[in-house]
Structure 1
Amino acid sequence: MSETKTPHVELQLEHGIARLTLCNPEHRNAITRRMWEELTQITSDLAIRRDLRVVMIRGVGPDAFASGADISEFGENRRSSEQAADHTAAIQEAIDGIEAIPVPVVALIHGFCIGAGTAIALACDLRYLDNNARFGIPAARLGIGYSPLWIKRLVDVVGRATAGEILMTGQFLSADKALRCGFANEVVPAADLDEFVEKQLAVIAANAPLSVAAAKVSLREIAAFDRDRDWQAPFAAVQACAESSDYQSALTAFANKQTPVFYGE
């Protein structure tokens, strides 16, 4: 990973696995405006790659996934309602970019996952936390109105009652609470988390890409607002699986007691 102190988003891509790292260690990986814009560009580029199998997002170092939006910029970027709306739109574009990636997106969460960090984690499909992790949304302690689009995703993941607790208290919740409410798929000892997630990435990358993509698009449409739901996309994705050479190859492999190899075709 880069040692530069300039806040940025780092991308590593190999063997169909993209690893994005939020780099602002002096401020517990708080997300700057530049980093939101970099996330938007990187996710836009990843979304059209045919060789991509899975994406992982993490924060640099062991202390934080992301401690929120960089508050040091608020005086400059969020002083007026117009500035706040513009800044929120930039964040929403990055969140939309994460959600639009057609392959699974995994959040590897060490330490603090707060505010905008929680929004990024909620945009991911899977969230794996270390046992020291803390998550929460302190918008009520900053006088910030949280976007209804982000609140819906929060409710979808943790339920209405827990979402209300998170938003109305502004308190940070434990890794144990994250697991119990459904925010975390798994909580792992901090020393073991990186290895655990790498194994999960390998498992996902080895599966049939069209099948995984069909599952993701179905989950996305089920979670969409009723007025925005598009049932044609998931059914088309299921049909693409049935017509794929991957499916035919898998049938042959299983008949011969072999392990299938998938190419996303």
Structure 2
Amino acid sequence: MLDFTQKTDETYADGKILLSVADGIGLITFNNPEKRNAMSLEMWQGLVSALVELRDDPDVRVVIMAGAGARAFVSGADVSQFEKTRHNAEASEEYSRRSAGQGAILAEYPKPTIACIRGFCLGGGLQVAMLADIRIAGDGSEFGFPAAKLGLAYGYNDLNRLVTLVGPSWAKLLMYTGMRIDSDEALRIGVIDRVVPDADLWNATIEIARTISGNAPLAIEAAKITITQVLRDPGMRDMDAIQEIAAACMDSDDFREGRQAFMEKRRPNFTGR
């Protein structure tokens, strides 16, 4: 089993964002457990830096995001900062501008991403999780958007993913009420993809990450690009990008290696070329 607990390669936001790499898997940890991993502005910016670091590391094939401790993935934004950073429309716009990088980079992230969710996954934390490709949650997790209880408004990009996942009716119910739902309900409506017992969460996440890491990177990239284009409005789809990555796969060393390994009844050794 991979063990990231003794290995931290980089830290950001004064140690509240941790980055580790092992066997082609990158791990970003939200490390603010005394506040249930609530995200400060510095942590949002640190998350962007960590994502860029792993994006540009050729040895990393998949990225996991997880929260430190057993109580939360991310419980939302750090509300204690709001009086200074989001006290009116102008300040909130500046806050959104400075923290928007994580949404933009995750939305276009070229490598597979997995949210490993234990405990509270609320507000901005749920936004981050929804931008991941795969969401695996422990059975004790809770999900919700408390914006209506704080007087906050979410913008188009913030809610587009929610509506895409759960549909407009459930999006309205969650946003209008600020209610929290458990992991079974979240699975049923499409907020998350898989629920496992809390005790099995890390092993289940690592198993999926290792499977992805062992597969052909170009084939995974092709799937990600194509699925992303499918979800866009027809007039906004980049069909050339789909054709280009498909051609790259068919001409790759990995495709030849995959065929050869199948014929030789052995595990393929993919290099991403």
Q: Contact 1:46–1:101 at 8 Å: present in 2 too?
A: no
Secondary structure of residue in 2 paired with 1:102: coil
- What letter corresponds to residue 209 of structure 2 in structure 1? L
Deviations 1:26-68 (A, max 9, x none): 1100000000111111212222222221000010011100000
- What letter corresponds to residue 168 of structure 2 in structure 1? R
Q: Contact 1:7–1:32 at 8 Å: present in 2 too?
A: no
Sequence identity (%)? 34
Tell me whether 1:224 sits opposite 2:232 in the alignment.
Answer: yes
Q: Contact 1:77–1:87 at 8 Å: present in 2 too?
A: yes
Among 209, 221, 237, the residue aligned to 1:213:
221
Kindly state the Cα deviation for residue 189 of structure 1 after the two structures are TM-superposed: 0.6
Deviations 1:190-243 (A, max 9, x none): 111111111111111111100011111112222235554322222211111111
Q: Partner residue of 2:102? A: 94
Tell me whether 1:109 sits opposite 2:117 in the alignment.
Answer: yes
CA, structure 1 residues 155+250, in 2 after alignment: closer, same or farther (shift >3 Å)? same
Among 40, 43, 50, the residue aligned to 2:58:
50
Tell me whether 1:145 sits opposite 2:159 in the alignment.
Answer: no
Among 238, 246, 267, the residue aligned to 1:259:
267
C-alpha RMSD of matched pairs (Å): 1.9
Q: Which moved more, 1:179-188 or 1:251-260?
A: 251-260
Q: Partner residue of 1:238? A: 246
Q: Structure 2: how far apart are the matches of 1:50 and 1:224?
A: 28
Q: Which moved more, 1:18-27 or 1:226-235?
A: 226-235
- What letter corresponds to residue 19 of structure 1 in structure 2? L
TM-score by length of 2: 0.92
Q: Structure 1: how far apart are the matches of 2:247 and 2:170?
A: 37
Tell me whether 1:171 sits opposite 2:179 in the alignment.
Answer: yes
Q: Structure 2: how far apart are the matches of 1:93 and 1:223?
A: 21
Q: Partner residue of 1:18? A: 26
Tell me whether 1:59 sits opposite 2:59 in the alignment.
Answer: no
Secondary structure of residue in 1 paired with 2:100: helix
Q: Partner residue of 2:201? A: 193
Flag structure 1 segments of 5+ consecutive residues without an equivalent. Answer: none
Q: Which moved more, 1:243-252 or 1:43-52?
A: 43-52
Q: Contact 1:39–1:94 at 8 Å: present in 2 too?
A: yes
Q: Which moved more, 1:231-240 or 1:193-202?
A: 231-240
Deviations 1:95-137 (A, max 9, x none): 1122332111000000000000000001100000111100011
Consecutive aligned runs of 4 or more in structure 1 exceeding 4 Å deviation: 225-228
Q: Structure 1: how far apart are the matches of 2:265 and 2:92?
A: 58
Q: Which moved more, 1:220-229 or 1:201-210?
A: 220-229
- What letter corresponds to residue 185 of structure 1 in structure 2? D
- What letter corresponds to residue 193 of structure 2 in structure 1? N
Kindly state the Cα deviation for residue 143 of structure 1 after the two structures are TM-superposed: 0.9
Secondary structure of residue in 2 paired with 1:79: coil
Flag structure 2 segments of 5+ consecutive residues without an equivalent. Answer: none
Q: Structure 1: how far apart are the matches of 2:48 and 2:234?
A: 26
